[in-house]
Amino acid sequence: MRIPHFLLTATTALSVFAATEVAAAPPPSIPLAQAPSYADLADLALAAPIVAGVEIRRSTRLKGAAAAAAPAGKARFYVEADVRVLIRGQQGLPAQVSYLVDLPLNARDRAPKLRKARALVLAATVPGRAGALQLVAPYAQLPWTEPLESQLRAVLTEATRPDPAPRITRVGKAFFVPGSLPGESETQIFLNTEDGRPVSLNVLRRPGETPRWAVALGEMVDEAAAPPQRDTLLWYGLACFLPRALPAASTAELTPDDAAAATRDYQLVIEGLGPCVRNYSRS
């Protein structure tokens, strides 16, 4: 049967219009309770051997025993995705990957539509299973956005520098030296690090001036020492892992008055660092 020319033209026009509508439609959005903080992203990035941008090809809601471990209000999905960009991964990745993820259901207990959604996944490979990934945290599938990818890249770039920020393991000894003038003093609190590099917190008080504090990355404290810039790995290591109060062992060798002064100066540093905000649990 021959199709009339005017019908063919109309059909073609409708097809072009439909294709334009589909192309213009935004991809599905991955549900997320709230935006991850810098600390959330650092937790994920430092724990993940694999960081990739993917486009979800298919998601299957699991049933029965396979889904029993999902938290209340969420369902477990088996996701198959195409790798669009490998941000981190020394061994590379196949073109397609799969992983399990728990996602919230809507008010009608329905699963979110994930097909063609773009995501950032932070994961580890599953030994012996090519293309199989395991997310490093329950929230390690993030909806892709350009700003979020840029943030992750910045964290990973800083983490892989030749001299990355040292990882703090504990607070060491504190020293307090009073000055020659009333109200003048200097406190130095040493921090133990994973790789043994010297790090210290330093507080300088002078009469009539606002107390100054700094972080020194080295044996000597110089005028260049300053508080760490917020939302950097040095800030993250201090704000998120230092105890909120100076341990008693750090001041055990000081007189009671000097111990009280060192404790006061430690609190000045903690307040200066500000809170470590985490919107998601690390477990």
Which pLDDT tens digits describe the chain residue by residue (283 residues)?
443 443 333 333 333 334 444 445 566 767 777 889 999 999 999 999 999 999 999 999 998 888 888 888 889 999 999 999 999 998 889 999 999 999 988 777 788 889 999 999 999 999 999 899 999 999 999 999 999 999 999 999 999 999 999 999 999 999 999 988 998 999 999 999 999 999 999 999 999 999 999 999 987 666 678 899 999 999 999 999 999 999 999 999 999 999 999 999 999 999 999 999 999 987 6
Residue 278 maps to a domain = no
- Verify that 174 and 154 share a domain, yes or no: no
Q: Which of 159, 177, 197 is the last residue of a domain?
A: 159
Neighbours of 76 (CB within 10 A): 18
- Whether 283 maps to a domain, the answer reads no
Nearest to 155 by CA among 283, 147, 214, 118: 147
Residues 34 and 124 grouped into a single domain: yes
Sign of CA dihedral 88, 94, 100, 105: positive
Q: Among 111, 137, 159, where does a domain finish?
A: 159
Same domain, residue pair 69 and 143: yes
**Do 39 and 155 sit in the same domain of this protein?**
yes
Tell me: do 39 and 125 sit in the same domain: yes
Residue 122 lies in a domain: yes
Write down the H helix ranges in 110-200.
Answer: 146-159
Q: Are residues 215 and 194 in the same domain?
A: yes
In a shared domain, residues 152 and 202:
no
Quote the number of domains for the chain. 2
Backbone angles phi, psi at 215, to 5 degrees: -115, 125
Residue 150 shares a structural domain with residue 262: no
CATH of the domain at 147: 2.40.50.120
Q: How far apart, in Å, are the Cα atoms of 103 and each of 4, 50, 67, 76, 150? A: 50, 21, 11, 7, 24
Asked whether residue 14 is assigned to any structural domain, the reply reads: no
Domain boundary among 101, 132, 159: 159
- The model's pTM is 0.85
Task: Identify the domain containing residue 46 by its residue range.
Answer: 28-159
